[in-house]
Amino acid sequence: MFLSRSFVLVFSACFLLCQAKGIRSFARENGYETEVEVASFVQFREAPEYRNQKKCSLLDTSNVAMASCDPSLVHIAMTIDWHYLRGSIAALHSVVKHTSCPQNLFFHFIASDARLESRDEFERIVHTSFPSLRFEVHVFEESLVGNLISPSIRQALDNPLNYARSYLADLLDPCIERVIYLDSDVIVVDDVQELWKVPLSGSRVIGAPEYCHANFTRYFSYEFWSSAEFSEVFQGKRPCYFNTGVMVVDLLRWREGDYTRKIEKWMEIQKERRIYMLGSLPPFLLVFGGDVEAIEHRWNQHGLGGDNLRNSCRTLHPGSVSLLHWSGKGKPWTRLDAKKPCSVDFLWAPYDLYIAPQQKRIAATGTISSSF
């Protein structure tokens, strides 16, 4: 039996492209944003295959059960959900493209337990675009923080998954001693091996670019600063603002110091006293402020999405750049789709593997109708 070439090409496209239902959007109910599930399809292209340079360490492939425990691996954790999936895939693409040892990376994607079937769908999406990637999708129990989250200045900051970074030491295998945490709205344009090798001196638990010129007091309320009980937490320290979207974390020291519980304690106080207004960031500032390993600013050119209330365009900070971060309200994929991009958004676009609905229609209809 002879099949038309158009049928074969259409069938191949439908089979190979990853399909996943359930993009989340936001609707308003009683003045608050709530998640609504919309039936749709999400499709991404397969990325080029990137291979290790000769200088890279060889991995032990004999023990599959302990695959994530190989000391030669670089561990990177990111959250993954339907709302930011396009950003997560682009961020992943940028990391593997620019690193010298892509085959030595192990990605840990943290997904919410709100829809357990999403885990399988995320695994399929990532594997389809990156067939050779070492990764695992971990499930984060939203109930861990459900009663601890206080409303912040922007509804998106109240997503329980934003707090998953506080639980990495519990989510990842005990054999994993260090991890790089990245937000989903970043692009890495340098070798992530350099970030991985940053030493955490003394007893420091995390490393991140610090911004000591920022007004640190504005991250906390008047009640916080007027209470010696609270403000003495910074006594004898020089706390600086740092962005939790890019961090190097020593998981051994985190576990030993039970830092998850310390963060939860401040969240419990916040529920009673309202000592801050900005989501998951302030507890990190309270626990680690003044005791962060300062990493070069080039590893977090943040604020490219404007501030937390306005989707405004910003330019790059002076100096070299290793990582671009669209923190703030505006995201490059939404601005590009809306035909209202900022200039920096065009730096994000080359890493985007998303297949837009219009591209799908072209792939399905722009075929040759002759038979073999």
3-state secondary structure of 248: strand
What is the three-class DSSP state of 115? coil
Q: In sequence order, what DSSP letters do the residues of 12-58 get, joined into one string?
A: HHHHHS-----EEEEEEETTEEEEEEE-----BPPPPP----TTSPP
Q: What is the side-by-side strand order in the sheet with 178-182? A: 134-140, 105-112, 74-79, 178-182, 246-250, 206-208, 293-294
Dihedrals φ, ψ of 281, to 5°? -70, -50
Tokens encoding 247: 């961090």
Beta-carbon contacts of 283 under 8 Å, excluding residues fewer than 6 positions away, are 166, 263, 266, 267, 270
User: Is the distance from CB of 216 to CB of 240 less than 8 angstroms?
Assistant: yes
User: Tokens 């809306």 map to which residue?
Assistant: 338
Token digits of residue 367: 């075929």
Which pLDDT belongs to residue 158?
79
CB atoms within 10 A of CB 359: 12
- Integer Cα distance of 210 and 296 in angstroms: 8
CA atoms within 13 A on the CB side of 353: 24
Query: Whole-angstrom Cα distance, residue 26 to residue 64?
Result: 41
- pLDDT tens-digit profile, the chain (372 residues): 444 444 334 434 443 444 444 434 343 333 333 443 433 478 999 999 999 999 998 887 766 667 899 999 999 999 999 999 999 999 999 999 999 999 999 999 999 998 877 899 999 999 999 999 999 999 999 999 989 988 765 666 778 999 999 999 999 999 999 999 999 999 999 999 999 999 999 999 999 999 999 888 889 999 999 998 998 999 999 999 999 999 999 999 999 999 999 999 999 999 999 999 878 999 999 999 999 999 999 999 999 999 777 788 999 988 999 999 999 989 999 999 999 999 999 999 999 999 988 765 555 555 443 333
- Rounded Cα–Cα distance for residues 361 and 240 (Å): 50
pLDDT of residue 370: 35
pLDDT at 117: 79
3-state DSSP call for residue 140? Answer: strand
Let me know how long the chain is. 372
Please say whether the structural domain 72-354 has been given the CATH code 3.90.550.10. Answer: yes
| Radius of gyration of the chain, Cα coordinates, nearest whole angstrom | 22
pLDDT at 364: 53
The helix or strand, by DSSP H or E, that contains position 193, with its residue range, turns out to be: helix 192-196
Amino acid sitting at position 217: T
Inter-residue long-range contacts of 24-30, CB under 8 Å, 24+ positions, other chains counted: 24/81, 24/82, 24/83, 25/83, 26/83, 26/155
> Could you tell me how far CA 301 lies from the centroid of its own chain?
15
CB of 344 within 8 A of CB of 313?
yes
Cα(58)–Cα(290) distance, integer angstroms: 38
Q: Residues 6 or more apart from 45 whose CB is under 8 A from it?
A: 129, 353, 354, 355
CB contact set of 235 (below 8 Å; sequence gap of 6+): none
The residue extents of the domains of the chain are 72-354
**Which pLDDT score, from 0 to 100, does residue 351 have?**
98
3-state SS, residue 137: strand
Beta-carbon contacts of 3 under 8 Å, excluding residues fewer than 6 positions away, are 371, 372
The pLDDT, as a whole number, for residue 307 is: 79
Query: pTM for this structure?
Result: 0.86
In the numeric block, which tokens belong to residue 180?
């790089």
Q: What are phi and psi of 5, to 5 degrees?
A: -60, -35
Which residues, including other chains, have CB under 8 Å from residue 137's CB and lie 6 or more apart?
Answer: 80, 109, 110, 111, 119, 122, 123, 126
**pLDDT score recorded for residue 295:** 98
